[in-house]
Structures are given as structure tokens and as C-alpha cells.
Structure 1
Amino acid sequence: MMETAVTQATQKIISRCALMHDLNDAECLAIIEQSQQCRVEKGRFFFHQGEDAVKMYIISSGRVKLTQVTQAGDQVIVGFCSPGDGLGIIVALSQLEYPLSAEAVTDCTAVSWQRGQMEQLMLTYPRLALNGTGMIAQRFVKLQDRYRDIATRRVEQRIARALLRLVRQFGKKAERGVLIDMPLSRQDLAEMTGTNIYNVSRILSKWERAEWVSSQRQRIILCKAHELVVLAEDLA
């Protein structure tokens, strides 16, 4: 992990992060000036589950995968992050370990603060602490929604809902539909939806025959997103 000075382009991205909500330009700049910019290569980790939480980040470029390993040793994908998203916000709100791992799935840049720095900044700018609490609350609600999906919805619905979430987050217009603009394997989808790679492959193959999706080389295009919405929401 390499550290460099924070650029003006990065400052603009960070200022739009939920952590900076309702802070004025001067306050945002003062907070950002105490950060360090770092680069994390594809396949490397910002941090690992169970490590002492000593640093938090805001992503300025790239894609990051958040995972947890269960007591049974199974890996679960909690979600993906993109520019403007925060990592390790728990640093400034508790003395806990990182509850998950954050892996760069593309080359990434981010800005970071040490735990002591962020704690002091939150004392100086109380809005920062409120925003951090709000970010954690939003993630808790999303996790509840995911667990409810796994408990109550069929596998096919869970995969459809996962693809639609990713399109909302990473969707990019393509010739045949909407591309999920990040590497996404069938194993990733299995770990997101509480199933196995066999079920994911079977369902994606079925959808490809129906021309709902197109997938190759860890790239998925939704060709008929409406059909997936109907399935995901159990619409008539």
C-alpha cells in the first residue's frame, strides 16, 4: 500500500461522501488535509477481518469487495464499494476489530485517517460523528434486508435482486443492455446470495437462453432488466 498527497480531483470525490454531509467547504478541506492518499493494487486488501481497526478510508477510485468468513469457514460477500464510499468507519466509533475484510477487485485509490486522527476530528466537528453513525445505521439496514432475502426468498429471486442492486450501483449503458461495470464471477454471486456456484450457473444459463442476461469473462449484462424486476419482486 503506497501513500501519496491528496489531489484536488480526489478532494471533490471525498467532499461528496456521506461522511462529509452538511459540512461546509472549509470544514471538508480541513478534514481532508489531515488524510493520506493511498493506492491498493487489485487483489490486495485494505484490511482483514479480525485485525485491530486502526485506520478508516474513503475510496476515490476503483472497486472494493467486502467479505466475512463465518464460523463454519464459509466466505460471504457483504457488498461492494465504489468511489465516495467509506471503509472501516467503525474505527472512530469503537475500539473493535474490523468486522470484515476489504479487498480491491480493481486497482484502487483512497484517502485514509488513523483512528486517533478521526476521533479528534469528530470531537472538533460533531457533524462528522453524526454522519459516521448514520453510515453505520444505513449499512445495518441493508444487512437486515439481505438476511431477510436469504430467509424468505427463492434462490432465483435472490440472484435477480443481487444483480439489480449491482446495476443500481455499477450500471453502465451497453449495446445489449446495462453492464455491471466491475469484475463479477459466479462464485461472487453465490457468496452474495447464500447459495452455491452450481445453482448460480444453472440459473444464469437459463436466463441466457431466455436472453435476459449475457455473461462472459466475469462481465454480466442485463439485457431484459424488466424481466428480472418482475421475478425479483414476485410481480404478476
Structure 2
Amino acid sequence: MSGLDRSLIAALPPFAGAGPAQLDAVLDEARSVYRARGSSLYEQDKPADSFFVLLHGRLRVTRLTPDGRQVVVRFAGPGELVGVAVALGRDTYPATAAAAVDSVALAWPSARWPQMLGLLPALAGAALQAAGARLHDAHSRIVELSTEQVERRVANALVRLSETTGRRVEQGILIDFPISRQDVAEATGTTLHNVSRILSAWEERGWVKGGRQRIVICEPHRLMSLGEGYPANRG
């Protein structure tokens, strides 16, 4: 017995519809993993010996391109199934996931994936849905990188983050984990100089408010309009 309480996962999407006995059987195979901010949960091209469900915190998922550039693929949040290379027929991880804040995940050996599917058939659907969503995101990013101006890409990136991680504060919508301008640059395929120039201009207009690894979107409709290709100064 792992000693883990089923309430840790009962409400999470990958385990929807599972009964108490199923959850207990799944947790018998699990171990709890803590990662301090900045440390890796798994690394690109290393053996994919485990898969994970994030319980608390946030992961910064990056990929190193053949020419040596680091690209932020996405930010994963609580409840997400991550590192499931085995479900894609891979024996190595396609990317690196590092803790953007102190994070806790549950880990299972990849070799147990078939047994997990036997216990929880819905898990296969969750993995496919996650893979499909990430493929859609990747396609959207490719289109953005090839067709959109840098300012529009940055606007879209911040809007997406506000939708998935945003928290209402007095000044607007806070992206609720530490995020640097370099992170934004790597997520939008541009340079730190460009992102700094764009965010500084938006700060002067009162659209965003920045700080050390902190971004508040004060006027979300301005960035949404810009991201959709409309003049951002429209009423």
C-alpha cells in the first residue's frame, strides 16, 4: 500500500468516474514526487521511465531545437497528465518539464501503463485528449510563428496564459506564477529585446503592469483585439 489518500486524485479529470476500489488500486502503484522551483521532473531525450499527474504547482515544459534554441512549449497546471511518452509509443521524453514554482506530482512507472488502462479505461481517453490538445496548440503556434507579427504573437501568448492561469486582482488579471520576459520570448519565438520593447510600450499605455517575474494584464480586451488582428486602440 502506498498510503496515499484517494481524495488526492478523485476529482481530477484523468480519474473521472473511477470508484474507490479503482482509485485505491491505482494509488498502490503511485509515489509522491516533490520538485523545488527550477528543478526538472523529467528531461528531453532521457528514458521515459515514469509518467505523472501534477497535483500542485506548475510546470514549464521546454524543448531544445536541433539548432540549440530553447522553446517554451507550454505551462502545465494541476490535474494534468504529463510525461506520458509511453502512450505515444516513445521510450524517451520529447521535452523537459521543470517546476515553475514548487510542485508536487504523483508518479507511476511507465511499465505499469497497460495495467493502469485496465483499471481505468477512461485514462486512455484522457491521454488522447491531452495529446490532441497539445497537437492543436503546436499547430496554432506554427501558424502564428509563420504568419503573425511579433506583437500579435505576444498578445496571444499572454491571453492564453490569462485564460489558463489567470487570477483576478485589483489591477486586472494576474498570471498566477512567476513568468519572466525571457519565458515570453521563448514561448513566442522571438528575442528578449523584442518582448521587453513590446511590454514596456504596453505598460506605458496602461495595458499591462510588470514586475520581477510578474505580469498583470490590466486591459485584457486590448490584447485580445490585438491578438485577433484588430487595432488594439478600438473602443
Give the alignment's TM-score, normalised by structure 1. 0.91
Contact kept, 8 Å, 2:51 with 2:84, in 1: the verdict is yes
Distance across 2 between alignment mates of 1:195 and 1:218: 18
Task: Count residues in correspondence.
Answer: 230
Alignment-derived partner of residue 6 in structure 1? 4
Residue of structure 2 equivalent to 1:173: 168
Q: 1:208 aligns with which of 203, 207, 215?
A: 203
Q: Secondary structure at the match of 2:184?
A: helix
C-alpha contact 2:62 2:70 (8 A) present in aligned 1:
yes
Identity %: 34
Matched with 1:223 is 218
Compared with structure 1, are the counterparts of its residues 135 and 22 closer, same or farther at alpha carbon in structure 2 (3 Å cutoff)?
Answer: farther
Give me the whole-angstrom Cα distance separating, in 2, the residues matched to 1:105 and 1:150: 24
State how far apart, in whole Å, the 2-side matches of 1:182 and 1:196 are: 21
Alignment of 1:48-127 (within 5 A): 48-127=43-122
Confirm or deny: 8 A CA contact 2:6 2:27 kept in the other structure: no
C-alpha change, 1:5 and 1:80, in structure 2 (3 Å) is: farther
- How far the C-alpha of 1:87 sits from its partner, in A, is 1.2
Shift in Å, 1:8: 5.1
Q: Give the aligned partner of residue 35 of structure 1.
A: 30
**Residue 194 of structure 2 corresponds to residue 199 of structure 1:** yes
- Confirm or deny: 8 A CA contact 1:56 1:114 kept in the other structure: yes
What is the CA RMSD across the aligned residues, in angstroms?
Answer: 1.7
| 2:165 counterpart letter in structure 1 | F
1:232 aligns to 2:230 (yes or no): no
Q: Displaced runs of 4+ in structure 1, greater than 4 A? A: none
Contact in 2 for aligned 1:47/1:102 (Cα 8 Å): yes
Question: Equivalent residue of 1:78, what SS?
Answer: strand
Native 8 Å contact 2:45 2:94 kept in 1: yes
Provide TM-score, normalisation by structure 2. Answer: 0.91
Q: Does 1:23 align with 2:18?
A: yes
* 3-state secondary structure, aligned to 1:6: coil
State the AA in 1 paired with 2:76: C
Structure 2 partner of 1:155: 150
Gaps of 5+ in 1: none
* Residues 8/26 of structure 1: CA separation in 2 closer, same or farther (3 Å cut): closer
Please name the residue that 1:142 is paired with.
137
- Any conservation in 2 of the 1:5–1:36 contact (CA below 8 Å)? no
